[in-house]
Every structure is written in structure tokens, then in C-alpha cells.
Structure 1
Amino acid sequence: MEVILLERIAKLGQMGDVVKVRDGYARNYLLPQEKALRANKGNLARFEAERAQLEARNLERKTEAEGVAAKLDNERFVAIRSAGETGQLYGSVSTRDIADVLTEGGFSVGRDQVRLNRPIKTIGLHAVEILLHPEVEVTVTVNVARSNDEAERQARGEDLTQRDVDVFEFEEEEEEGEGAEGEVAEGEAEAESAGDDAGAEGEENA
């Protein structure tokens, strides 16, 4: 389907461009979100008649977004989640979760404005891009931790994931060492028992 863009769309084009997109993308996103119009003579004429108004509205939205960007860019937010010893989350942090965290922090952000290639599945500091406007993008840091104390330690630069892995490996080695010592002790006990039995038999024969 060919559409007329009513605003800049990343990887598609600028306002006023006529581009070809998948029918589903147009019907489910571009048209209902009023980001584009079907490309036909009537809509082309309508766009040209409303171009000045659309450009003014876009500039106003961009100015508002830039105001928010000045406060939001490089901000840090904490998301507390349950995770295992190695830092792997029991679940994940999605675009909706991040939007909720930012909203709780005083910034009105929708999940469709959060740019995340894949859900976050480990504790740590994660850089996330937020699209405030087609021409205004900022980066925030989401500090995913198991507690506020861990979040503070991660913010200071401590790698809790690596620490947990080291501790886990140390405990495994310690358990293996204890097992080996137990086997040695058991072997010594069996040897002593065998020696005692042999001595007893010798006495009886004597």
C-alpha cells in the first residue's frame, strides 16, 4: 500500500513523502495513529492544503519533546526484579515495564516510545533509547537489580553478575573438595578396620 507520511518515520521517510509499506503496517499502525494517509489524489490535495498546519503542529510537538529530552537524557531508573544467583531474571523487563518505570519517575512515556531490541533478562545497567518525537531521541539507563541495595552497588560500578558467578563456582569447588576429603577419610577408616580384623585373626591362630 502507498501512503503519504504526515510526520517523519524512521527508515521510511520525511513528512510529505509518498512511500510503499506493507498493508498490515499501514492498517494497524500508520493510519489509525494518524501518521499517514492513503496515497490517492484526494488525500494528496488534502495534505498540500494542510501542510502548513501539519508542519506547525509537528514543530510544536518537537519543541515540547526537546524540553522533556533536556531533563530525561542520561537519567537513571531502577527496576527491582527477582533473579537467580547468576543474575538471570525470573522473567524479563519489557518495553511496557520500562515505560511504567519512567512514568513512575515523573516522565510520561508510552511503550511504543521505548526502543528495545529484545527484553532485558539479566540484572545490571542497561542503556535504553526513548523516542520522544520522530526527530528527538534520548538514552536512559535502567538499573535492574534484586534490591535497592544492589541497585546502589551497581550504580557505583560493581558487577554483581560476575561476583555471583565467582561465588557460585567457589562454592561448587568447595563442595567438591569436601567430597574428596570425605572419600579419603572413608578410605583410611576402611584400611584401619581391615588392619584390626587381620590382627584379630592372627591372635586367634596363635
Structure 2
Amino acid sequence: MFDAKLRPLIDPPLNAAGRWLAKIGIGANAITLAGIVLGIGAGIAAARADFDLALLLILANRLLDGLDGAVARATRLTDFGGYLDIVGDFTFYAAVPLGFGLTAQANQLAALVLLASFILTGISFLAFATIAAKRGLESQAHGRKSFFYNTGLAEGTETIIVFTVMALLPQHFAALAFGYAGLCLLTVLQRTLIAWQTFDG
């Protein structure tokens, strides 16, 4: 929901950092892989109830997620880089709820519901991107990407905010997870309506 609105603010510093990293020889895929390691680490930290470390790793993961694209834009966008980026995103989206679910038995149902909602949003996102590519549709609302990014109520910015609040207020994980899962399901419905209008209209 907020991703496209924030791009004009976050892209200039990210792109400047990306040009510098590219200049010193750090590749986009290496940054993506480092981000995957940090994302998994965030889940492990949450599972160990080390929520301060989990928060630090969540924020570091998201920073690297922005930097890998900036480096790719400074050098060249590749299909494999786009693939690796989305795998990294969903590894992160799986690791953090899983970690919180392992922290306490009371969190497990909420974590499972949130993971299921992430699966559905991921499917709606990737299915839309696949058909959009087949039809030659393009959008740069989320910046230059390797494939079509369809908007939604629950996007990256909202997920970062929710994960941050979860790490700050872990005692409220279940309520936050159920609430965000509901927003994810609304996003699936929203994307389905957009797909119907775009592909079947």
C-alpha cells in the first residue's frame, strides 16, 4: 500500500549506495544471499526469544533487500537476480513468523495462520506477475524490477512495520499476526479483482 509512495524518498539514497557498492565490486546477488542469511537469523533469534537481535536482523535484512536492487540497477538487472530476490523475500516472510511461533505454544496458531496468508499473497503476487509478463504488461510504480510488481494493501513496508512491532511487543504477537493475516487476505481479494479486470475485462 505504501511501497510505491515511499519509492521517491528511499530510492535516491539507496541508488547512491548501490552505485558505490557496485563500484567497489560487491554484486547484487551476494547482497541478496547475505540478506537471506540475516532473514533466517531473525527467525532463529525470535525462536530463542532474543527479540532485540531479531529486530536488528529484520531491519538489516530489509536494508540489504533494498540495496541488492540498487546495485543491480547500477550494473544490470538479471532474471536470476530477480528470481533470487523474490526467493529471499519469501524466505524472510517464512522465517520470522516461524521463529515467533516456536517461541511459545500460545503463538503457534497465529503463526500458522500468518504463514498461510503469506503463501496466498505470494501466490497471488507471482501468478499476476506471470500472466502480466505473458501479456507484455509493465509497471515501474515500485521502481525498475525484473518482473511485474502488482500493488496491494499488504506489501513490503507494511510487513516491515508489523514485524518491527512484533519484535518490540512480542507479548502481542498473536493479535498482530491474526490482524495482519486478515490484511493479507484482503490483499489477495484485491489482487484477484484487479486480475479479473486486467486479464478478463
TM range (shorter): under 0.3
In terms of Rg, which structure is larger? 1
Question: Is the strand fraction higher in 1 or 2?
Answer: 1
